[in-house]
Amino acid sequence: MPRNFSSVGVVGLGAMGAGIAEVFARNGVGVVGVERDSEQLARGRRHLEQSTGRAVARGRMSPDQQSELVGRITFTTSMAELADCGLVVEAVVERLDLKRQIFAELDHLVRADAVLATNTSSLSVTEIAAATTTPARVVGLHFFNPAPVQALCEVIRTILVAPDVVEDVVGLVRRLGKSPVVAGDRAGFIANALLFGYLNRAVSLYEAHHATREDIDAAMQLGCGYPMGPLTLLDLVGLDTAHEILRTMYRQSRNRLHAPSPALGQMVAAGLLGRKTGRGFYTYAAPDSPQVVGDDETPPSADRPARARQVGTVGLIGTGSAAAGIAGALGARDVEVIHVGTGRAEELSRADLVLDAGADDPAAKRAAFEVLDARCPDAILATTGSLVPVVECAAATGRPEDVVGMHFAHGDPDGPLVEVVSTVVTSAMAADTVRSLCARLGKHAVSCGDRAGFLVDALLFPYLNDAVRMLETGYATADDIDTAMTLGCRLPAGPFEVLDSLGNDVALGVQRALYAQNPEPGLAPAPLLGQLVTADRLGRSTGRGFREHGR
Mind telling me the catalytic residues? 121, 142, 154, 192
Strands (E), 119-178: 138-143, 152-157
66 sits in which H/E element: helix 63-71
Q: How many residues are there in the chain?
A: 551
Cα separation, 542 vs 501, whole angstroms: 11
In a 3-state reduction of DSSP, which class is residue 87?
Answer: strand
Cα separation, 193 vs 228, whole angstroms: 18
Cα separation, 44 vs 34, whole angstroms: 9
Cα separation, 58 vs 88, whole angstroms: 31
Give counts: helices (H), strands (E), the chain.
Answer: 20, 17
Strands (E), 205-270: none
Cα separation, 532 vs 506, whole angstroms: 12
Q: Please provide residue 491's backbone torsions phi and psi, each rounded to the nearest 5 degrees.
A: -80, 150
In a 3-state reduction of DSSP, which class is residue 274?
Answer: strand
Cα separation, 467 vs 482, whole angstroms: 9
356 sits in which H/E element: strand 353-356
